[in-house]
Amino acid sequence: MKTPPESFLLFKEELKKVQLEKERLSKQYEERIAELNAELCRLKEQIGSQQDMLRTTLDYASQLESNLDKFKEEVSESEEQRRNGVY
């Protein structure tokens, strides 16, 4: 049996190296994508928490505004009663 030419053996060796490099890069790519997805999930979670805090803050501010309006009405009614009671 004839031995293959040296150029074929070199080509075959280079092909193996390229395939190994391709596998390494593919694995590295998949790991990086997994890291980015994990970071994206954390960021989504943080954004959700911040939205909840903003919603709660706006609800609280609205409630305070409503309470302030009621208090102003009570004060003005109290002043009117005081004025009407004195005269």
The DSSP secondary-structure symbol of 3 reads P
Q: Tell me how far apart the alpha carbons of residues 56 and 77 are, in angstroms, rounded to a whole number.
A: 31
User: Which pLDDT value is given to residue 1?
Assistant: 58
Q: What pLDDT is recorded for position 86?
A: 54
Please compute, for residue 85, the number of CA atoms within 13 A of its CA located in the half-sphere on the CB side. Answer: 6
Per-residue pLDDT of the chain (87 residues; tens, 9 = 90+): 577 788 888 899 999 999 999 999 999 999 999 999 999 999 999 999 999 999 999 999 999 999 999 999 999 988 888 887 655
Residue 72: which of 64, 62, 84 has the closest Cα? 64
Distance CA 81, CA 84 (A): 5
